[in-house]
Structure 1
Amino acid sequence: MPDHEVVIVGAGPVGLLLACLLVQEGIDVVVCERRAEADPRTRAIGIHRPGQDALDAVELGSSVRQRALRLDGGDVISRGRTLASLSFTSDRPVLVLPQQQTDALLRERLGMLSPGALLSAHAVRGVRDEGPFVRVSVDMSDGVREITGALVVAADGVRSPRREELGIAWRPRAGAGTYAMADAVDVSGDRRARLYCEPDGLVESFPLPAGRRRWVVRRRSADAELLTAAAFLDVVETRTGVRPEMPDEVAPSVFDAAQHTARSHGRGRVVLLGDAQHEISPIGGQGMNLGWMDAVRLAETIVRDRAGGRYDFRGYGRRTRRSARVAQRRSAFYMSMGRPVHGASLVARDILIRTLGSAPLRRGSAGMITMRGI
């Protein structure tokens, strides 16, 4: 008999949510996480309706809604003019909560459901499908040990070593760019997001809880490294006319946005989940929510098939690939709207944005942003 029914590799928000879903169904789960402590990095902030539904399924929805800021809507601005304004309806709200807080709630919930299920400082070094079970090599503080599971779920991120170990191709999709990001003070109480689609490139501005606001800048090759607060603020002010309040010691983070899809959902008893299966550009804010949707689908499949001991993940793979394709197309479009453009291309882009924000199309545009149809 395997040591566990399911071994999950990676304790990000998607792996943790899957663990909670499975434990609630009486399934024996362990989560192996290479880090000794929770990830402190600034990551995802937006929680859309599908993500809220997934959190409700593990009884965290109310806790998230209490802590999160609810966006009133968003404005698209260019050269001082508002091109489009959208509001988010009560049936598809957009919540904003830093990922560190979401992760903390998921860790706490898993600890309540199954104390000891989360194994921190347990780095998985390899998996081997033995047919009736999977053997997992884990690097612990006292050396390498092996554990076994009826299933292994690789939720170990975009650079998933498990995906590479399985030899699953990682296919690029449209949409790429380099961005810099930092959080600033904002005590205005403004609950609207703003997208500055400027000639020299996109600047995004999102309110956060506790009097903060996140700023994201699309970098051009001509821009400085944007690794200091002063350099970052200079670019924001040059493009938007706004200079946020940010301490000098703040170090903006620079990241490359790209999109990929795994050729397969997994092999045998090893299944890919979340960013290990598909990379969605953070410009659009749908990646974490899509991973949560995948986790719900995967949990349903595991619960359905566990009695027979033979798992069929083909339906899970088809559904997750379809959702990823839709999300990637939307993110690629959002990124294209934020490219540096001038002349006739700038005029054409402004006309397109105005059209999408017009009364006949406004509801559909808001639905795209809030993951309707994914």
Structure 2
Amino acid sequence: MPDVLIIGAGPVGLYMAALLLQEGVDVQVLEQRSTPEAHSRAIGIHPPALAALARAGVGEALIAEGVRIRRGVALAGGKALAEMTFAGVSARFPFILSLPQGRTEALLERRLNDLGDGALHRGVRLTGLSDDGGQVTVEAVSRFGAVRYAAPLVLAADGVRSPVRTLRGIGVRARDYPDRYLMGDFADQTGFGPDAALFLSGEGIVESFPLPGQLRRWVVRLGAGDCAAGAPAADDVAQRCGDAGWLAQCVRERTGFEIDAGTNSMLSSFGVRTRLARRMVAGRIVVIGDAAHEVSPIGGQGMNLGWLDAAALAPIVTAAVRGEDVTDPIKTFERTRLKAAGRAARQAEINMALGRPLPDRLLALRNRAISGVAAVPAANSMIARRFTMH
């Protein structure tokens, strides 16, 4: 019997496993997907998360493959309104690292296999679990048929639809937003280099981020008149918008930049919602990452928030495995991480509000306000720290 079962081999579950294996904890990871997810939505790794990832021995590998974003610029009407530098947010990592989630997961999985070859079990779908107060029993289905696992502790990093959360009856506070976005990756022809760019258009914000391989991600906030507004699914959005060509046209109209639709390598849309678990600890089961909190992708905090959950939880789990009393630490963990999730959700709401469509008069007022605040060094520094989760 392992010391700990981890449900989910996404970025948070893999990182959690690596941290525990480093401390000599016997871990098994159960993942429903038979193969890693190739599609990447999340790309931004913030400085506190980089520091946490370095603890698992993957920091240097991630940085070697990613793009270091040291500056962001806000533009309107072809003119620069504001600039934000990340130079002061961290002495060790004065940047946001841009790296597709697929590569991040691959490097984490490689580290996991180095530490505990055979710890990861793919193609295992959870069907039930029970906690008798002494151990947790997990029932699942694999390609070999019905299987059963047991461990004293279960950590659930099984995503926004978390079967563990559902089976344990952990409630969530939910909120849906009207905002919808379309994004795609294209060859970078902007000249921005490693800088991020935000275009403050009256039709809705356009965000642009560098990616490895001379690529750039474009994210467009869809307005009420756009073909995809209110569409129920990503594939439907892409079809109704005319795929990458529509996105390229929208970018050109709102920013003046030409992008080559023929170089598109990813196209996806997403809506926005918040799901905050009412608790993270249920007996011998703990939910972390997206299983515990789903926040808006705008601002790129969700994946980072999960890593910080794991970093805070790992020493508590290690102590528990060694027989120490962790009653008070686990209560503190739950309280502080739920508070952090609420704070991230509020920041995401601010980020979304700043990018919504506005009539010309209100747009001019908003842009002047952004320019004015950014010109005050203390305010600029504070915003940079909040944006990077400090």
TM-score tier, shorter chain, comes to over 0.9
What corresponds to 1:108 in structure 2? Answer: 110
The TM-score, its normalising length taken from structure 2, stands at 0.91
- Of residues 16, 30, 33, the one that matches 1:32 is 30
Q: Is the 8 A contact 1:181 1:214 kept in 2?
A: yes
CA 1:340–1:39: 2 relative to 1, 3 Å: same
What corresponds to 1:368 in structure 2? Answer: 386
Q: Deviations over 1:91-120 (max 9, x none)?
A: 232111111111011000000100000001
Residues 48-127 of structure 1 mapped to structure 2, 5 A cutoff: 48-89=46-87, 91=91, 92-127=94-129
- Of residues 369, 372, 386, the one that matches 1:352 is 369
1:305 aligns with 2:320: yes
Q: Deviations over 1:3-22 (max 9, x none)?
A: 21111110000000000000
Amino acid corresponding to residue 345 of structure 1 in structure 2:
L
Moved more, 6-15 or 68-77: 68-77
1:327 aligns with 2:330: no
Q: Is the 8 A contact 1:229 1:250 kept in 2?
A: no
In structure 1, what is the Cα distance between the partners aligned to 2:295 and 2:14?
Answer: 19
CA 1:238–1:330: 2 relative to 1, 3 Å: same
Amino acid corresponding to residue 118 of structure 1 in structure 2:
L
- Of residues 231, 244, 252, the one that matches 1:229 is 244
Q: Deviations over 1:20-42 (max 9, x none)?
A: 00011111111100111111112
In structure 2, what is the Cα distance between the partners aligned to 1:51 and 1:70?
Answer: 14
What corresponds to 1:341 in structure 2? Answer: 358
Q: Deviations over 1:247-268 (max 9, x none)?
A: 1775621111222210011310
Shift of 1:311: 4.6
Shift of 1:352: 2.3
Unaligned runs of 5+ in 1: none
Q: Is the 8 A contact 1:77 1:195 kept in 2?
A: yes
Q: Deviations over 1:182-223 (max 9, x none)?
A: 000016471110111210111100011110000011112321
Q: Is the 8 A contact 2:43 2:101 kept in 1?
A: yes
What corresponds to 1:209 in structure 2? Answer: 212
Shift of 1:309: 6.5
Amino acid corresponding to residue 29 of structure 1 in structure 2:
V
Amino acid corresponding to residue 387 of structure 2 in structure 1:
I
In structure 2, what is the Cα distance between the partners aligned to 1:309 and 1:32?
Answer: 26
In structure 1, what is the Cα distance between the partners aligned to 2:285 and 2:70?
Answer: 41
Shift of 1:173: 4.8
Residues 130-279 of structure 1 mapped to structure 2, 5 A cutoff: 130-173=132-175, 177-186=179-188, 188=191, 190-225=193-228, 227=238, 228-247=243-262, 252-279=267-294
CA 1:251–1:206: 2 relative to 1, 3 Å: closer
- Of residues 288, 297, 321, the one that matches 2:303 is 288
Unaligned runs of 5+ in 2: 229-236
Q: Is the 8 A contact 2:186 2:264 kept in 1?
A: no
Q: Is the 8 A contact 2:176 2:272 kept in 1?
A: no
Q: Is the 8 A contact 2:15 2:310 kept in 1?
A: yes
Moved more, 68-77 or 311-320: 311-320
- SS in structure 2 at match of 1:198: coil
Amino acid corresponding to residue 212 of structure 2 in structure 1:
P
- SS in structure 2 at match of 1:252: strand
Q: Is the 8 A contact 1:175 1:335 kept in 2?
A: no
Q: Deviations over 1:301-324 (max 9, x none)?
A: 111222336653211111111111
- SS in structure 2 at match of 1:7: strand
Moved more, 331-340 or 220-229: 220-229
- SS in structure 1 at match of 2:150: strand
What corresponds to 1:47 in structure 2? Answer: 45
Q: Deviations over 1:119-166 (max 9, x none)?
A: 011111121111100000121111111110111111011111211111
Shift of 1:348: 2.5
Q: Is the 8 A contact 1:175 1:281 kept in 2?
A: no
Q: Is the 8 A contact 1:121 1:140 kept in 2?
A: yes
- SS in structure 2 at match of 1:15: helix
Moved more, 78-87 or 227-236: 78-87
In structure 2, what is the Cα distance between the partners aligned to 1:176 and 1:115?
Answer: 45
Shift of 1:243: 2.1
| Cα RMSD, aligned residues only | 1.7
Amino acid corresponding to residue 209 of structure 2 in structure 1:
F
Q: Is the 8 A contact 2:25 2:321 kept in 1?
A: no
Shift of 1:363: 1.1
- SS in structure 1 at match of 2:366: helix
In structure 2, what is the Cα distance between the partners aligned to 1:275 and 1:353?
Answer: 31
CA 1:310–1:145: 2 relative to 1, 3 Å: farther
What corresponds to 2:231 in structure 1? Answer: none
Shift of 1:356: 2.6
Amino acid corresponding to residue 367 of structure 1 in structure 2:
R
